[in-house]
Amino acid sequence: MDKEEAAAVLGVSGTNAGVAIPQHQAREQKMEEEEEEEEEEEGENSRMVSNNNSNRASHSVALLPTPKIAIRMTTIIHVAFGWNVGDHITNDLRIRKHHPEKRIADFAAQLGQRVDSPIDIVETGGSWHSPDLAFAHVDAHGPGIVFEIAFSSQKIPLHELAQEYIGGSKGEVQTVVAFDIGYPAAKQAKVLVWKKREAWAGQLQAELVLEEEFQKADGSVNAECKGLYLSLSDFCPERMIPADVKPLIDTRTYLGRETGISISPSRLCHFLAIAKWQREMINAAMREQ
């Protein structure tokens, strides 16, 4: 009797190194081999899915909008002129805190300069701008009025910037003031003001309400310029102004006293002269080194 016949008699299905394996063990071995093959296939599929997910994730990261951060070089003209404008407005706000009308005084006391004033521009995918100067209501999460000083060899698109401030902040910025100073002599200069305006379908637009030259090309004061006037309502969104206060601060004078902030053209020229003098002093000191 050969091995195969003996295996049939003994009820085994095969041999392993000359040793007969019972049929039930052979079936179990076959099942284990099939399970191992299935596990290998599942592992391969998992690796393929993981690789595909990794590729998709990398593509997703590449397609995410990249925030834009505008970085610009400031000069002594920016710093000195901006500081004097901000100091003048701050002093005027202190005076308004002592207005004979208590409601005006109380409201003015809630307005102040913001030094941490980066503004998220939601329309440009998470970009932000940091103005040269800003003021806000104490309860506001961002500035209500911003100031930009344009003094550069490259032309700055001020209207586009004003639109980004007002539209991009969803109307939190009420007013944008820009001082366009001629480069490099810093002689001719003008002031521009944009205010929030609601257009059709709720669109917010920056409306230019003032554009005047306060210093002529020869460096003299423009006597025809009216200067800069800001109402206290320009400093914050309307929802933060009490209903009984708004008509009071919308008038330039109340009870014989100013309610807003005024900067005459001669004062603006004085601020610019100070900035130019400081620039000359710094340049002279650097030449001596």
Phi and psi, residue 168, nearest 5°: -70, -25
Cβ atoms of residues 104 and 248 within 8 Å: yes
CA dihedral 279, 280, 282, 286 (to 10 degrees): 130
Strands 133-137, 111-113: pairing kind:
antiparallel
Burial 168-184 (b: 16+ CB within 10 A, else e): bbebbbbbbbbbbbeee
What is the pLDDT at residue 101? 98
Query: What is the residue whose two structure tokens read 């980004």?
Result: 164
Residue 66 tokens, joined: 């990249």
Instruction: List the domain boundaries for the chain.
Output: 3-63, 76-288
pTM of the model: 0.74
What is the pLDDT at residue 21? 44
The angle that helices 76-96 and 265-288 make with each other, rounded to 10 degrees, is 140
Residue 96 CA to residue 113 CA, distance in Å, equals: 15
Mean pLDDT of successive 10-residue segments in the chain (289 residues)?
43 42 48 55 48 41 42 81 98 98 98 78 61 94 94 92 91 96 96 93 92 97 97 96 97 97 98 97 92
